[in-house]
Structure 1
Amino acid sequence: MDGFNAPEEFERSLHAYAGSDHAGTNALALVLPSTRAVLTRSRQLADAGRLRVVCNENSPGLSASGMVRLAQSGQRPALVIFSDQLVSAHEATLLIRTSREDIYVSPLEMILNQRYGYALSFWGIQGNSTIEAHSADSSAILHGIIDHLHQCSSLGDQWLLREQQSLRRPAIRTYNARRKIRMFRSALLAQYQPDSIDAELDALMEAIDTLEGDVVDRQGRLTC
């Protein structure tokens, strides 16, 4: 059993919000951790048509970009957002400086709240914390995301995305970017004869070196 009663908790949240005075005006997004019980129950509710699930692109559900497109079309279903799954470089694009470390987070919750009128309910150890729709306080939304991710650590091994959170760190982003650049350089060199001299190739290699240098300058130099 999970370290918290999440399936019942988020169903109660959905019922409570549906009965509130502003129901029908604003939609609700519940931000929950990826545990087996929560994933299973959220998908059951999604299959029943009660909500949509927002997750990474490799999991069943809506991607972050897919959800934004849905909201742009005027649809605002109730949501479960697995923010802990949004860790890739194209999903988590906001670099946030915290007291513990600098990490990248997704702007999805901020976009849904401020632009499309979603209230946000973040799971935490002591219960959910809520931010009303159309909040002007961007820092409160970002704090909600970061605090939620920190509190997910209390779930121990039940938190299925624990190891993937390292992908939020600038140093890891830099290492992965430099690795891809080096792979591209190797693939490009493989297209040319070993003894050939080509001005175009030299220019390409110089451009790649500049790109790698720019990555290091932006993120901080690593020993790789």
Structure 2
Amino acid sequence: MEENMTVDMWAKAWEEGKTTHMPELCNIFTKHVDKMLNSRKQVKCFVPLCGKAVEMKWLWDKGHEVVGVECGEEALKEFFEENKIGCSIVQIPELKGKLYKSDDGRIRLYCCDFYLFNSAIESEFGAVWDSGALNAINATDQEKYVAIIKSLMGNKCVNLTVIDDFTDWEIPVNYDKMKTWFKDGFSVEANDYVKANKSLESFGIKGQQLYIISKI
């Protein structure tokens, strides 16, 4: 995969429908979401580079609060339209972007460059569902990305990070990298590797690696 992944590239991909969006819940999510939520109610959940992930609707249906960040506005429009969830849209000047907020306020999806997002906007998350985000950024931006994620994780936050393992390029993250990035104040577990189903295989994905990152 070319290492030239930009905001404009992903925005165009959503406009043209050329993404790896999956219309069904991720197998790893259904298998491990209980670890992420840890029997807690009304958890504030963060979904970076969220697209129109169906896991967001699932979490909302269960009474949790969902915050996502996505540069492709088309994805956010489609999320609310397809799920028939009423929303309002406001400009967020400090992010040079917009906020799509559900009528009940429990879903807040920010349309902006992820690297402008920070803990002054939203913070103290109790859970993170991070599916493929580290696949969707340039390797040179990985540490900057991780620094933002760490700054958003609140006390006892549990982060499920999924890395897609493509057949035609080297997996961008390994256990040693994860342990280095989440060294102080966090624990990292290389928890599960799941073979891709037919839908994922159609995108050239052979499997998915799960890391469970806990703030301690």
Query: TM-score, normalised on structure 1?
Result: 0.35
Query: Higher helix fraction: Structure 1 or Structure 2?
Result: 1
Query: Higher strand fraction: Structure 1 or Structure 2?
Result: 2
Greater C-alpha Rg: 1
